[in-house]
């Protein structure tokens, strides 16, 4: 009996599969292979050597490079160019002279900066690192010309100025409104009369004032008294420098350290040693339970805070009872409110999801 023989088709298929298994891991590397030429189109001077464009050696200093650039720039400047009999290559026509001028300028921009020149020399010495050259070239070319820190600082200062003037405008609006409220206006007028400020505004003499000037001066006196006597809290309070964004950023490390120290003291005094809460700590727990910011809680009346302390709302069970009472009271108010009644009636009869047709 003869030895078994494989058909040619089956043998060729098996050999092809073996070659495919061997070549598969090498395909990504083969796809990433690029020509090893040092000069690449689109980078620096393209396929021209920047040193050859300026006619200098790689060891040339900044002064020699600048001198060669000035000579070539004067020669190929489009407005001053005059073709010479010995010109060859670039520079034979005005259009080619402009191209030569741009190439010379690109070569000078590449070689005058030390960091860019290092990247270019590295590209000449290591042409195989194709993608690295592209990265360094475009990372420097697309990098912002202005320091990012300066941009951030200017932006923060601009925001802080806008904050200050916006808050000051809101504060002046609040004072102007309070000056129109009879309760505060009468009190401020009485204080001004006691201090004799209104008499000074109405004094007669050589510099006699008109009625409008006297009225404006009296209005300013009343507003100044209201400013000095009243304490406005919340969104219309007097602006403070330390509340601006710039100072908040500057003081952020200090506030962070203060909070860490305060938190450690809280854990040590109340969780470990088991001390009783003081009035400040009790109000802090109540504010956190109500989910109010410090400015919102400070804007509450003193009698409200006293009520919170009397009812011992820093205890969770007491606060839950108080919260339920407030919700029930709110429901009663809404039930007796005619606007709320109209709204419920409309939701029941009409509603946003109903389609109605009006017959004329």
| Range 64-72, long-range pairs (CB < 8 A, 24+ positions) | 65/108, 65/111, 65/112, 66/108, 66/112, 69/104, 69/105, 69/107, 69/108, 69/112, 72/100, 72/104
State the pLDDT at residue 336.
78
Instruction: Look up tokens 């505060």; give the residue.
Output: 184
* CA 3 from centre of chain: 82
CB atoms within 10 A of CB 193: 11
First to last CA, the chain: 107
* CA 163 from centre of chain: 15
State the pLDDT at residue 352.
54
What's this model's pTM, rounded to 2 decimal places?
Answer: 0.48
State the pLDDT at residue 160.
93
Which structure tokens are listed for 333? 């108010």
CB atoms within 10 A of CB 103: 19
Residue ranges in the chain whose pLDDT is less than 70: 1-38, 40, 81-95, 143-145, 199-209, 231-235, 346-360
How much is the CA Rg of the chain, to the nearest whole Å?
A: 41
State the pLDDT at residue 258.
93
Which structure tokens are listed for 251? 């003081």
- Class of 50-142 in CATH: mainly alpha
Question: Three-class SS of residue 111?
Answer: helix
Distance from C-alpha of 166 to C-alpha of 239, rounded to nearest angstrom: 9
Which structure tokens are listed for 133? 């050259």
Which structure tokens are listed for 353? 């999801």
Instruction: Look up tokens 């709302």; give the residue.
Output: 313
User: Taking a C-beta distance cutoff of 8 angstroms, is the pair 318, 311 a contact?
Assistant: yes
Residues in the chain: 360
Instruction: Look up tokens 């043998």; give the residue.
Output: 11
State the pLDDT at residue 172.
87
Kindly list the domain boundaries of the chain, sorted by start residue.
Answer: 50-142, 149-200+210-239, 247-273, 276-348
Which structure tokens are listed for 340? 């709320």
Outline where 130-251 has alpha helix (H).
Answer: 130-141, 148-178, 182-194, 197-201, 211-229, 245-250
Using alpha carbons, list the distances in angstroms from residue 229 to 173, 179, 180, 222, 224: 16, 12, 16, 11, 9
Distance from C-alpha of 282 to C-alpha of 310, rounded to nearest angstrom: 11
User: Taking a C-beta distance cutoff of 8 angstroms, is the pair 73, 104 a contact?
Assistant: yes
Using alpha carbons, list the distances in angstroms from residue 74 to 71, 82, 99: 5, 10, 14
Distance from C-alpha of 157 to C-alpha of 147, rounded to nearest angstrom: 16
* CA 194 from centre of chain: 52
Instruction: Look up tokens 């990372």; give the residue.
Output: 139
State the pLDDT at residue 347.
67
Instruction: Look up tokens 């109209």; give the residue.
Output: 342
CB atoms within 10 A of CB 341: 12
Which structure tokens are listed for 26? 């090498």
């Amino acid at each position: 009996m003869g030895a078994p023989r494989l058909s040619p088709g089956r043998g060729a298929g098996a050999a092809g599969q073996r070659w495919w298994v061997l070549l598969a891991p090498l395909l990504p590397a083969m796809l990433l292979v690029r020509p090893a030429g040092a000069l690449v189109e689109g980078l620096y001077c393209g396929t021209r050597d920047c040193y050859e464009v300026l006619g200098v050696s790689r060891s040339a200093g900044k002064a020699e490079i600048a001198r060669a650039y000035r000579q070539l720039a004067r020669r190929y400047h489009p407005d001053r160019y005059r073709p010479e009999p010995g010109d060859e290559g670039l520079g034979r026509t005005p259009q080619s002279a402009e191209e030569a001028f741009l190439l010379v300028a690109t070569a000078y921009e590449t070689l005058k900066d030390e960091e860019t020149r290092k990247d270019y020399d590295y590209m000449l010495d290591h042409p195989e690192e194709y993608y690295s050259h592209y990265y360094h070239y475009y990372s420097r070319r697309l990098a912002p010309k202005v320091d990012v820190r300066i941009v951030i600082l200017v932006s923060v200062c601009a925001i802080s100025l806008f904050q200050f003037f916006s808050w000051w405008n809101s504060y002046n609006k609040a004072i102007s409104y309070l000056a129109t409220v009879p309760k505060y206006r009468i009190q401020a007028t009485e204080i001004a009369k006691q201090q004799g400020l209104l008499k000074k505004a109405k004094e007669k003499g050589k510099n006699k004032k008109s009625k409008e000037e006297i009225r404006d001066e009296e209005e300013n006196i009343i507003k100044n008294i209201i400013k000095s006597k009243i304490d406005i809290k919340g969104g219309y309070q007097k602006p403070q420098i330390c509340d601006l964004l710039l100072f908040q950023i500057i003081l952020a490390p200090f506030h962070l350290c203060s909070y860490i120290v305060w938190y450690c003291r809280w854990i040590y005094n109340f969780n470990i040693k088991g001390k009783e809460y003081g009035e400040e700590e009790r109000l802090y727990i109540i504010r956190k339970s109500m989910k109010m910011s410090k400015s919102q809680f400070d804007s509450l009346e003193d009698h409200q805070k006293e009520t919170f302390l009397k009812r011992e709302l820093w205890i969770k069970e007491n606060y839950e009872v108080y919260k339920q009472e407030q919700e029930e009271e709110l429901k009663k108010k809404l039930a007796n409110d005619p606007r709320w009644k109209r709204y419920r009636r409309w939701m029941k009869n009409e509603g946003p999801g109903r389609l109605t047709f009006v017959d004329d």
